[in-house]
Amino acid sequence: MKRLITRGLMFGNLIEVSSPQLVARYNRALRMLIGRETALSDFHIDLSGYSPEIGDEFGDHFYLNPNGANRQFILLTTAQKEAPLLNIRFSTSRSILTRFIEANEAQLFALTARDVVAGELQGSVYAVDSPAKLLDLRRVTVEADTIGGHVADAGKLAGLIERFRREPDGWRDEALIAGMIQLARRTGDVTRVPIHLPAMSFEQPDFWTSLFGGLYVFQGQKFPAVISRGGVTGLGQMPVGQVMDFTHRNHIADWLERNGLVEPIVQARGTNGGAILRQKMDFILLDAADSLGIDVGDARRTELRKVAYKLGPALPDEFLGLAAMLRWVEEAGPWPQISSEHPAYFYTLRGRPGPDRDLVNMLLSELSPMDVRQLFITHKERFYEDYRGWSEKKREYVADFLAREYQVDKEGAREALFGPEPKMDELARPDMREGPKPTRELRDIVGPWGAMRPGQGRAQGERR
């Protein structure tokens, strides 16, 4: 992993904690949250305040998330909102924490100037001891305060001030006045500089979790479902309409289509489908060459083309399917027949714009794992897991490619691949129980690859 770290592809943008004052504040928070302290004099923290170095010291990298369902966090600075979130158990955790910080940034900036802020992402269950419990995690509430209780004290002081103003003889109540003075010494003048950090709740009907081998939970769709990376037999009874695993390719494809969650890359607005297909084909060739021990030199496209010539009839079906699609894009071939049973099928799709776009792209990356760029962008946990099993040559090539082609312009690369980022109002979904109602075009009705291209007399694609 050192190769990834040195290129900023792992543990990048962590916040350094090295001043004695900040270390002392962090230890105060640790004592309150878990009853332990670190002996380290400097370390780095992520968005939630988790430190890989302290995780090594404690022998527990989930020291801020012991039960897996209610992640605790420590804020030393609002700059943590730009840091990554490590050891993710739920895909929604990063966006929830980031939105909480941004919504309360002025208050948090003032509070962290005097003390450390600690809190928790509270779900509706205290422990997830069975897969069925995941379906109870529909809402997450974020509550936070300083270790010194400034927010709680400010609330008490505001109440006493209101009582003082309301009661006719309040100015004679010495106990009331003494209480106000005592609280004001800790909070300051809350009438001029209010301290208010309300609990915030976020809906999470759809999410991925690393628990139970990796599950995708979709409860906010018209047709709810749970999709498992492993088998479905060990999940037990799940109170949801459809339960699938990655071997159920036809069922997953049909479910994605019925909910209007995907679109073909080559027909997505504002996308250079040909360039994306070529890069996916390069990754597939690299994987095939690596598994067969074929030298790819510096893995330039000319070298990879030679690999394709060497493989000949042994070229992977994923490569052949994307090559057929590329020929159609370049107006040099017929509309390809790629059904959901074809190994290339999920490589040809991306998440449709909407609140679940990133989650769907995350799912697609696991269904098309040879596309290492999409895997890294949308599902770093799976990327790091797969990376450990690659050869040194593939590790070097992929790390170099990501540092060269992705790190220099992350936002541009994401927009080119997946479209513009969803707006905040698109992410807010107070109630999605009825599911989205996307516009159904002809290609949606007959399947992504069942529609005619312009000028064709009839559809040539397969229907599922």
Kindly state whether residue 147 falls inside one of the protein's structural domains: no
Q: How many other C-beta atoms are found inside a 10 Å radius of the C-beta of residue 149?
A: 14
| Least confident piece of the model among 42-51, 52-61, 107-116, 389-398 | 107-116
Distances (CA, A) of 106 to 17, 89, 100, 113: 22, 29, 12, 11
Across 156-170, 269-283, 350-364, the highest mean pLDDT is recorded for 350-364
Last residue of a domain, one of 122, 156, 173: 122
**What does the alpha-carbon distance between residue 33 and residue 39 come to, in Å, rounded to a whole number?**
16
Question: What pLDDT, on the 0 to 100 scale, is given for residue 189?
Answer: 53
pLDDT digits (tens, 9 = 90+) for 314-348: 889 999 999 999 999 888 778 888 999 999 999 99
Cβ atoms 111, 146 nearer than 8 A: yes
Answer whether residue 148 is part of any domain. no
Say if 337 falls within a structural domain.
Answer: yes
| Domains: count for the chain | 2
Query: What's the pLDDT at 380?
Result: 95
Among 48-52, 89-93, 285-289, name the one with the lowest average pLDDT. 285-289
pTM for this one? 0.82
Instruction: Say what the alpha-carbon torsion angle 433, 223, 218, 367 is, to the nearest 10 degrees.
Output: -160
Look-up of token digits 């790629």: 338
Whether 43 and 54 have beta carbons less than 8 Å apart is answered as yes
Please indicate, yes or no, whether residues 223 and 75 belong to a single structural domain of this protein: no
- 3-class state of residue 405 by DSSP: helix
CB neighbours (10 Å) of residue 232?
Answer: 16
Structure token digits, residue 49: 């305040």
| For residues 197-223, average pLDDT | 93
Q: Where is pLDDT greater, at 196 or 62?
A: 62
Q: Rounded mean pLDDT of the chain?
A: 83
Tokens encoding 185:
């010494």
Percent residues over pLDDT 90 in the chain? 53
End-to-end Cα spacing for the chain: 41
Domain containing 437: what range? 208-446
- Per the domain annotation, does 455 fall within a domain? no
Q: What is the pLDDT of residue 425?
A: 53
Q: Do residues 290 and 428 share a domain?
A: yes
Distances (CA, A) of 93 to 90, 100, 101, 120, 121: 6, 11, 12, 11, 8
Pairing of strands 139-146, 43-45: unpaired
Q: Is the pLDDT of residue 355 over 70?
A: yes
The H or E element that residue 183 is part of is: helix 174-187
**Alpha helices by DSSP H, 346-418:** 357-367, 372-378, 380-387, 392-401, 410-418
Token pair recorded at residue 14: 């962590």
Q: Where are the beta strands (DSSP E) in 154-284?
A: 200-203, 206-209, 215-218, 225-228, 242-245, 262-264
The residue with greater pLDDT, 199 or 202, is 202
Indicate if 223 and 86 belong to the same structural domain. no
Q: Identify whether 156 is part of a domain.
A: no
Comparing C-alpha atoms, which of 104, 24, 120, 117 is closest to residue 72? 120
Shared domain check, 373 and 255: yes
Bridge partners of 143, per DSSP, are 120
pLDDT at residue 155 in the model? 63
CB-CB contact of 344 with 322 (8 Å): yes
Statement: residue 88 has pLDDT above 80: yes
Residue 68 half-sphere exposure, CB side, CA atoms within 13 Å? 14
* Nearest partner of 256 among 242, 268, 270, 266, judged by Cα: 242
Q: Which helix (H) or strand (E) holds 72?
A: strand 72-75
Are residues 53 and 44 in contact, defined by beta-carbon separation less than 8 angstroms?
A: yes
Could you give the CA distance from residue 291 to residue 288 in angstroms, rounded to a whole number? 5
For residue 395, name the pLDDT band (cuts at 50, 70, 90): very high
pLDDT value at 119 more than 50: yes
| Distance in angstroms (rounded) separating the CA atoms of residues 365 and 377 | 9
Flag whether 171 is in a domain.
Answer: no
Which of these three, 79, 95, 122, is where a domain ends? 122
Structural contact between residues 122 and 70, judged by C-beta atoms closer than 8 angstroms: yes
Q: What is the pLDDT of residue 373?
A: 95
Residue 315 counted as domain residue = yes
Report the share of the chain in percent with pLDDT over 70: 82
Mark whether 354 and 231 lie in a shared domain: yes
Are 270 and 385 found together in one domain?
A: yes
CA distance 439 to 75: 43
Measure Cα distances from 122 to 98, 272, 453 in Å: 15, 42, 49
User: What's the pLDDT score for residue 152?
Assistant: 62
For 226, 319, 365, 371, 398, the CA distances from 283, given in Å and listed in that order, are 29, 9, 13, 6, 9
Give start and end residues of each alpha helix (H) in 223-335.
Answer: 249-258, 273-292, 301-311, 317-329
Residue 413: helix, strand or coil by DSSP? helix
Residue 26 lies in a domain: yes
Q: Which of 451, 460, 431, 447 is nearest to 139 (CA)?
A: 431
Which of 16-25, 302-311, 420-429: highest mean pLDDT?
A: 16-25
User: Which value, in Å, is the radius of gyration of the alpha carbons in the chain?
Assistant: 26
Domain boundary among 122, 142, 170: 122
Nearest to 64 by CA among 142, 118, 14, 143: 118
